Amino acid sequence: MFIRLNILVQTFVICLCLPTDRLQAKNKLILILADGVRYDYVADPNLKGFNQLAKHGVRAEYVQPIFPANSYPNWYTIVTAIFFRCSVHKQTHKHF
């Protein structure tokens, strides 16, 4: 019994480790949301991390905040394209 269970578990682990074409074909996106960062921090030559991200990635020219004082509603709107206050009513606002 133990040998069969061991073989079953090893087979399952090997199947999980095998890449699939469907997973490899998808593009990956990493969204970095930095709280408390001003618009001009990216242009500061002393912040080399921001410069590397801007050089090798994509960045937004500007973002119009939904709630300027609160971060979470802005992040929610960016990720879901749903205006935070109207999410209860299922109204989507994909343009501002």
- Which positions are annotated as active-site residues? 71
Chain centroid to CA 62? 18
Both tokens assigned to 95: 């343009």
Joined together, the tokens standing for residue 44 give 């500061």
CA distance 92 to 94: 6
Place of tokens 């699939």: 20
User: How does DSSP assign 32-65, residue by residue?
Assistant: ---TT--GGGTT-TT-HHHHHHHHHS---S----
